[in-house]
Structure 1
């Protein structure tokens, strides 16, 4: 890959007006543009993100994957396409400044997909609930024995070569998005690595781990996705 690759960032966001500007402000200068997919927020997420310098795409249909797909569609319509796309959440639980180390394996030509692993990094106490930790362990263990894919995390902070992402033909519109990408990348023969990333308590209440419905809904969808591509 060239020494000056074009890197775009996608941030799916739902009701993150208190955190989104912090996330955007700490994204390194190696990035060309930041695309925030406002997933039908009832607060001022879109306005705050736009004021902070991001491109904002409005997606009325709720769903993590749906928001990511809408941001991808927006990027597809740009005259100059990126070389690499980075995904991260808008709740300030990730450390955006770690993006340089996240994309480095791609820039070095060692990988097409890089997962920021919270399991390998340092987690602030209380940043992940027990169901999240157990769910990640269960999902990655199932992937290992059913798919042969070796991951330690389904972390949202990740980087992937744009053309390879398009070739994966992503379709999941909700909680199965991250694991779909990892399984499809493995099956497609993409080179993937994990790098340690740190994780802190998010700003606000999680839409997944913050409710019983969210925990069971995400867990069900993740396991269903594993079996779907088995």
Structure 2
């Protein structure tokens, strides 16, 4: 089936948020018509939650600090068949997500990831790119997947994601999703997406310390033994 022949479906978009008031208007303005934005406020002090609600987003409050905690709270709050994830800092365009969802809906992929292509000075600092490269190599050794990026722009079916039993609540969450998907035999694919300098101050990979913490969290994920594929597939309902 040609993915372009699949009628675009609505989806819930999870947007983990920590002090992103400057970026929120652009990010929410780029969501496809009819799609629901789930802004998960992770302790913002700049009025992000109030602004997001005023702009029409569904706001979820997650008191546990951590990227994974915010992402998973958004997943639990989602109701649509398809769930997407996107950073809330205007570095990635949620307007690109319909193509991701069409690919999943067409049965061509179970999990679609955005392969970031940096545009503009400072979009992807060298230390963050080096950390990502090291992780994709470790991911290949662990799962056999040959990916170029572990970027946060992604889409999959909600029930299938819940069935993966994701447990990481820190920076390892995006990698754990890919690892568990590979263990379950999912088809994981990439699409090129532009990656622009973020709006506002970076919380994680904009600093050497943040990048090292993220890599450390993700290495813990890779150290976990593979889950039985048959059991995971049954739980996720992908086969």
TM-score scaled by length of structure 1: 0.91
Residue 178 of structure 2 corresponds to which residue in structure 1?
182
Unmatched 5+ stretches in structure 2? 227-239
Runs (4+) of structure 1 exceeding 3 A deviation are 1-6
Q: Aligned partners of 2:14 and 2:125: how far apart in 1?
A: 25
| Partner Cα separation in structure 2 for residue 141 and residue 162 of structure 1 | 28
In the alignment of these two chains, the number of paired residues is 222
Q: CA RMSD in A?
A: 1.7
Measure how far apart 1:29 and its partner are: 1.4
- Bigger Cα displacement from structure 2, 209-218 vs 186-195: 209-218
Shift of 1:197: 0.6
1:166 to 162, 185, 195: 162
The Cα of 1:4 is off from its aligned counterpart by 5.9
SS at match of 1:197: strand
Task: Tell me how far apart the structure 2 counterparts of residues 9 and 171 of structure 1 sit (CA, whole Å).
Answer: 20
- Separation (CA, whole Å) in 2 of partners of 1:51 and 1:64: 23
Work out whether residues 3 and 107 of structure 1, in 8 Å CA contact, stay in contact via their aligned partners in 2.
no
Matching of residue 155 in structure 1 with residue 159 in structure 2: no
Structure 2 equivalent of residue 19 of structure 1: 23
Alignment of 1:106-185 (within 5 A): 106-118=104-116, 121-185=117-181
In the alignment, does 2:68 pair up with 1:70? no
| 3-state SS of 1:86 partner | strand
- Aligned equivalents of 1:74 and 1:97: distance in 2? 21
Pick the aligned partner of 2:202 from 195, 203, 206: 206
**CA distance, structure 1, for counterparts of residue 64 and residue 198 of structure 2:** 23
Distance (Å, rounded) in 1 between the aligned partners of 2:176 and 2:15: 18
Alpha-carbon distance in structure 2 between the residues aligned to 1:154 and 1:229: 20
Deviation at 1:46, TM superposition (A): 0.3
Per the TM alignment, residue 209 of structure 1 is displaced from its structure 2 partner at its CA by 2.2
Q: TM-score, normalised by structure 2?
A: 0.88
Shift of 1:128: 0.6
Q: Deviations over 1:173-219 (max 9, x none)?
A: 01001000000001101112111111000001111123333122111
1:45-87 per-residue CA deviation (whole Å, 9 max, x = no partner) reads: 1011111110000111110010112122223xxxxx3111000
Q: Secondary structure at the match of 1:160?
A: strand
Corresponding residue for 2:85? 87
SS in 2 for 1:29: coil
Aligned equivalent of 1:100: 98
1:35-54 to structure 2, matched below 5 A, reads 35-54=38-57
Q: 2:231 aligns to what?
A: none
The structural deviation recorded for 1:3 is 4.1
